[in-house]
Amino acid sequence: MKLQFSISLLFICSSAFAEPYLTITCSEPTGDRFDYIKGTIEKDTDKYSGIQPTFIIEKANSDTVSIIWGHTKAYGEPPTASTKKAKIVTAGTNQFSAVRTVNAGSLLEVYSFFPSNGLLYYAEHSFGFPILDGATSKSLYAKCKFSYAP
């Protein structure tokens, strides 16, 4: 019985992690942020402190990118990883992009990857978060390493 349980557990664990086709590891995303508050637009620099996001595209699920992100160091705690999924909407030799929506579209994230340049452009548009009755837009970039599976 113990052997059967171990084999079952091994099967479940190995099937939960598909074989990666491409792994992308990036530096801290940094750039500009625009907040619309009470009729005015405020511009500031922004970045995800202490975060080196990782993106994985699996061979068996090549239309989706898994995003391993985390909370920034600015909150006073060590970063913790969270995993999100985004749908790949364009794919070419020099660029591919993925889109993710949250909360019925109140948050839109766009990830554009440029393998030959080692670059990620990340755009985020949101309404009502983190500013109540306001809108936020971020345009960030990060240098990345693209590692293809053999």
Q: Which of 7-11, 77-81, 87-91, 131-135 has the highest mean pLDDT?
A: 87-91
Q: Residue 129 above 70 pLDDT?
A: no
DSSP codes of every residue in 26-92: E---EEEEEEEETTEEEEEEEE-TT---EEEEETTEEEEEEEEEE--GGGSS---EEEEEEEEEEE-
Tell me the C-alpha distance between 146 and 150, whole Å.
13
Domains and CATH numbers, the chain: 19-148 (2.40.160)
Q: Which tokens go with 44? A: 């500031």
User: What's this model's pTM, rounded to 2 decimal places?
Assistant: 0.79
The vertex-101 CA angle with 82 and 61, nearest 5°, equals 65
